[in-house]
Amino acid sequence: MKELTQPTMLKKLLSQLFDKLENERDNDKKSKNGNAIYFVEEILEKRYGRPNYISSKAVKSYYDKYIDEKENNAGEPSSELKNLMSKYLGYENFLDFENKNGVEMVGSPQIKGGIKKTFARWAIFIILVVVVMVVVYSKGFLSSNDCLVWKIDHYEKVDCENNRPNLILEDVDIDFFRQVKVSDTTAFFVNGHPAIWYGKSKKGEIEYFNSRGLHPITLKELKPITQYIINKYVDTTKNQN
């Protein structure tokens, strides 16, 4: 029994995703780029009601990284995006996809069912242990009377009884995560890797952050800074204090 690594699991997910997109009857652009466009416009926007959730270029970059194994800055798809991909493939979510695709069975077909059941039991046990550990840790890190809300450029702990907490879909280091102002002197890259992430506010304005994650207001995935974005937008913000 060989456990699949996370990159292999993502490769499996994206491979099945693009195979299904390729076979959609109304997909008249049967290419890597065409399939990515179809997924964004027809599946995410129309079927799941996620307009402007992610660009087709970003979806294609995941394919390039995990299927074609090309070096790029695509990173890993967000938890919500992996869930949406899995749902489109007929699974409840990405965890369901992992459970049903997470092991390659090697050996006699007669013992395959028994190995699957054993793996499922261990998977459930491990998940329960992880949940308990997270709960115990969170009690020491964030008391039961504390919630998180976004204040101008950072997260703050507040009393849950009087405040409605922000919904946070990604793990965020609240002591580090900040909205930042940039200028033409900002160090946008460190050793060739993005040091700034950006996203649009509800008003459509470009906002910058010092870490990857979700936009604290729109909850859309932040994107790594690019030279194109710097050239297009930074000149309008370089005089901010």
Range 82-107 average pLDDT: 84
Q: For position 198, what pLDDT does the model report? A: 97
> Is 148 a residue whose pLDDT tops 90?
no
Output the pLDDT for position 156.
85
**Model pTM?**
0.42
pLDDT of residue 142: 52
Query: Which range, 30-34, 114-118, 147-151, 195-199, has the best average confidence (pLDDT)?
Result: 195-199
Q: What are phi and psi of 56, to 5 degrees?
A: -65, -30
pLDDT of residue 68 exceeding 80, the answer is yes
Q: How far apart are CA 221 and CA 81, in angstroms?
A: 9
What was the pLDDT predicted at 138?
63
**Rounded mean pLDDT of 171-196?**
89
Q: Which residue has the higher pLDDT, 42 or 116?
A: 42
Banded model confidence at residue 213, pLDDT cuts 50, 70, 90: confident
User: What is the DSSP track for the chain?
Assistant: -EEPPHHHHHHHHHHHHHHHHHT-TT----SHHHHHHHIIIIIIIIIS--TTSS-HHHHHHHHHHHTS----S-----HHHHHHHHHHTT-SSHHHHHHHHSEE--S-GGGHHHHHHHHHHHHHHHHHHHHHHHHHHHHHHS-TTEEEEEETTEEEEEETTTSPPPP--S---TTT--EE---TTS--EETTEE--EEEE-TTS-EEEESS-SB-TTT-PBPEE--HHHHHHHGGGTTT--
Per-residue pLDDT band for 174 (boundaries 50, 70, 90) equals confident
**pLDDT for the residue numbered 169:** 43
Choice among 66-70, 118-122, 150-154, 170-174 with the minimum mean pLDDT:
170-174
Mean pLDDT of 145-171: 69
pLDDT (mean) for 123-147: 74
Q: Is the pLDDT of residue 113 over 50?
A: yes
Specify the residue for token string 């039991």.
Answer: 121
